[in-house]
Amino acid sequence: MSRRNIPRPRHRCGACIVLHAQCPPRCFFAPYFSHEEGAIDFSAINRVFGVSNASLLLYRLLARDRSEAAVSLTIEALARLQDPVYGCPAPQPDQNPSWNFDLPIIPEDVHHPSFSEAALPPYPGEASSSQMPPPDDIDELGAVMFGNHRPH
């Protein structure tokens, strides 16, 4: 038996390592998740997106686009594990110095309405004529709104 006929042991891809599966000779994930770093990358993708979603996304793409999509999935998954709310688009003040995160300065002499002034409607005596319906409409609406039935 010559050395050429001896099959070399094949390493499992990163996806099969994470999934605790045997890596078939034509594994779908093998080209995109190598043995070395692929386990870390695929573990993040599995935790954030799930195996089914990741495999469907890659499967539906053209073969030439799958490698780039796998890299994008990995970047987004790792970012979402670090910042679950924003993921990749998390605002980073040091990355964009034109952003100003300082709050505006409000002068002290400006009148700040209290909660009751800002939130409550005016008393009926303080309301203008445009805010109050005519008295006849109030009598008609009262019976409908409050269930007071008056004989006509």
Q: Which is nearest to 19 in space by CA: 55, 48, 46?
A: 46
* Torsion sign, CA atoms 43, 44, 47, 48: negative
**Inter-CA distances, 107 with 104, 111, 114, Å:** 10, 9, 17
Sketch the domain layout of the chain as residue ranges: 10-82, 115-146
**Quick check: 114 pLDDT over 90?**
no
**pLDDT tens-digit profile of 22-71?**
999 899 999 999 877 899 999 999 999 999 999 999 999 999 999 999 99
* Res. 120 pLDDT band, cuts 50 70 90: low
Q: Which residues are CB-contacts of 28 (< 8 A; sequence separation ≥ 6)?
A: 55, 58, 59
